[in-house]
Structure 1
Amino acid sequence: MLKRCGLGLLILLIGFLGFTHDVGAQSDITFANLEIDLWPEYDRPDMLVIYRITLDNSVKLPAQLTLRIPATVGAPYNVAYEDTADGMLYNLNYSTQIEGDWVRVSFTTPSPVLQIEYYDPGLKKEGALRTFEYLWPGDYAVRDLTVVVQQPPTATAWTLIPSMGSGVKGEDGLTYYHYAVGELKAGTSFVLRLRYEKANDDLSAPMQLVQPAAPIESAGSEQSGPWYTQVWVIVMGAGGVLILTGLLWWFALTRVPAQERTSKRLRHTSRAGISSPSGTSPLRGLYCPACGHRVQPEDRFCRTCGTRLQQG
């Protein structure tokens, strides 16, 4: 009997030590800075929540993190890290697990700078009245927490709890409210309540699709100008030049010895199979709407300025 009791106590002790080890590992990670951006009705009729995280210098990289977001969200819109070499944002793989009212988002980051985004459908609408309650669950200790709330252009009767004072107009023409929360220990939550009125469903920034390099003219557009500027004349002239060039090249090629022709074909064949990712041309004509630099269709962030891209 005593042996069985001793064995049971030993198992309980091992389990307790394992539990305390997990808690200690969680507390080893500290956020040096955390900025929480809340943008209601920005490009969707929900609340866009953005976490801008900088890990403390004491955190060893790569680091594994788990953040909780409301279960009603389902999954984050994006999880990204900032490359310390070029300062650009790159997507991170993540996993999710439902836990009661929360979804646990787990990922491993090679960088101390992170950006997580999700759309919260918890923005309630009753006629013109909008209400929202945000909760930071205190997953990690934060040395400096800042909350920034964006006000929709047509919002009135604007109320924030806690109060954030007067707003400041940003470069985009929208008004922003800043609140310096300061330091929060792990397990300490923060709650913000928002209330305002809005007579319409207009978005602050309607979905901006990545645009082609130049506007595409309709096929039925009226043609004008002298005959030599008409499109069909230009096309026929260019085609004639290409045909003449091809005939001259073929004539010159037939005069080259067979051995020399074979070596030239082999040199070009070695590059014939090279193509850009996904088998598409690297010159796709897609540009960032903010800075104008070329982007790839699969990019969610501009590799030049870091602007989040809306995919069509």
Structure 2
Amino acid sequence: MLRWFQPQKNLKVLIILTAFLFLFSVSPVQVYAQSDIQFKDLTVSVLPEYDEPDKILVIYEGTIISSLPYNGEIKFMVPKKDQNINVGMACEINAAGGHECQPYRFTDKGDYQELTWKLSKTVQPGQEYKVYLEFYYDGIKGQANKTIDYKFVPILPIKNLTLFVGKPLKATNFKLDPPYTFTGQGYNLNTFGYTFTNPTNPISIKISYTKDDPNPSFEKPKNDNQAANTQAPPTTSTTPTISTPVSDWIILLLFILFIVFLGLLIFYALKTQSSSHPTRKDKNSRYGKGSSRSGAQAQLAAERKRIRRLLLEGKISEETYRELISDLENEYR
């Protein structure tokens, strides 16, 4: 131990310094917790009877941004499981345009459920990061005359939202309520669009049309096994899959080590401080428990007489006598 290191005097300084070092080591996690993650833009496509009969295909495509580094979760509100929701892909889109699908989980939110996955990469300030969600669900009512009550529920802030509704092929008398404000072409269908800026409340759209043909607009490829979903197939079982990233375990380990180190530091400081201030009992222990200074002097005198008697009886030499007397005085000094 270095001479300048005196825990009994510098304990507070050491604790503060250690705490600062620990906080700096985990500061990214605190930054993530304070981040304002949001969608720069989000496109929602609602495609009734697209490639599965009597089902609605919904696709979310968005770009997320954050003013601070963020590696937390991305969340979407989707229909309840009792509407036979079937998630096709829950993915992040890489720089090359490829889909990197992630494990996700569901959380019951009453009339809806929340679909969540942990981002695999950190979204840096000023960086745009694209995500993609695709699912089917039962939401079509009626036989020939069909109606759909679709509701989009925002969770994260959205700067610009575009919502497309596709008209199924062979459908007639197609109507939207409220009336659409944008017309486009997408997903090989005539689509009708809505635009919203900074939406915060749920958006409801009523869709109605007539269609006698039971077949979907397009035939689903037989070998369609969600080829893009090759890196991490989503878990669709009733038991949610919750993955803990390696970085969380590292942070937990650092925290445990910090607590252990701090405890040892305090223990050592208290022990050192205690040993550096001996009690009166320690000082007098060589005289016997409860003995006084006068008692020690009496013992010294008695021991001198014993050594003197050994010299007179010729059992020790003069030189040995002087050595014993010197040692005795040093002991009782």
**TM-score (normalised: structure 1):** 0.55
- Tell me the distance in 1 between the aligned counterparts of 2:228 and 2:206: 30
Q: What is the aligned partner in structure 2 of residue 118 from structure 1?
A: 135
The answer to whether the Cα contact below 8 Å between 2:91 and 2:101 also exists between their aligned partners in 1 is: yes
Aligned counterparts of 2:99 and 2:68: Cα–Cα separation in 1: 20
Letter in 2 for 1:65: I
Q: How do residues 229-308 of structure 1 correspond to structure 2 at under 5 angstroms?
A: 299-300=227-228
Question: What secondary structure is seen at the aligned counterpart in 2 of 1:141?
Answer: coil
What residue number does 1:36 align with?
44
The one-letter code matched in structure 1 to 2:89 is: N
Q: CA deviation at 1:190?
A: 1.1
Check if 1:193 corresponds to 2:206.
yes
- C-alpha distance in 1 between matches for 2:70 and 2:160: 21
- On the 8 A contact 2:98/2:228 being kept in 1, the answer is no
User: Which SS does the other structure have where 2:158 is aligned?
Assistant: strand
Q: Which amino acid aligns with 1:141?
A: P
Q: Which residue of 2 aligns with 1:208?
A: 221
Once residues 81 and 98 of structure 1 are traced to their aligned partners in structure 2, the CA distance between those partners, rounded to angstroms, is: 23
> In the TM superposition, what is the alpha-carbon distance from 1:62 to its structure 2 partner?
2.2
Q: CA deviation at 1:138?
A: 2.1
2:228 maps to a residue whose letter is R
Q: CA RMSD in A?
A: 2.8
Question: 1:209-267: per-residue Cα shift (whole Å, max 9, x none)?
Answer: 349xxxxxxxxxxxxxxxxxxxxxxxxxxxxxxxxxxxxxxxxxxxxxxxxxxxxxxxx
Change in Cα spacing, 1:190 to 1:301, as seen in structure 2 (3 Å) is same
Aligned to 1:82: 93
**Number of residue equivalences:** 190
Q: Distance in 2 between matches of 1:37 and 1:133?
A: 14
Partner of 1:182: 197
Q: Which runs of 5+ in 1 are unaligned?
A: 1-23, 212-296, 304-312
Largest Rg, 1 or 2: 2
Relative to 1, partners in 2 of residues 1:123 and 1:83: Cα closer, same or farther, differing over 3 Å?
Answer: same
Identity %, equivalent residues: 23
Q: Please report how far the alpha carbon of residue 59 of structure 1 lies from its aligned counterpart in structure 2 after TM superposition.
A: 5.7
The offset of 1:131, in angstroms, is 0.7
**C-alpha displacement of 1:165:** 5.2
- Counterpart of 1:69, as a letter, is V
8 Å contact kept, 1:34–1:145: yes
Deviation by residue 1:150-170 (Cα, 9 ceiling, x = unmatched): 111211111111211574445
Q: Distance in 2 between matches of 1:33 and 1:53?
A: 6
1:58 equivalenced with 2:75 (yes/no): no
Aligned 8 A contact 2:182 2:195 in 1: no
Distance 1:199 1:74, change over 3 A: closer
More contact order relative to length (CA 8 Å, sep ≥ 6):
2
The alpha carbon displacement at 1:66 in A equals 2.5
Gaps of 5+ in 2: 1-31, 124-128, 232-333
State the shift of 1:60 in Å: 2.9
Greater strand share, 1 or 2? Answer: 1
Q: Distance in 1 between matches of 2:34 and 2:172?
A: 42
Summarize the Cα distance change of 1:26–1:140 in structure 2 as closer, same or farther, 3 Å threshold: farther
Partner in structure 2 of residue 69 of structure 1: 78
Task: Indicate how the Cα distance of structure 1 residues 166 and 141 shifts in structure 2: closer, same or farther if over 3 A, else same.
Answer: closer
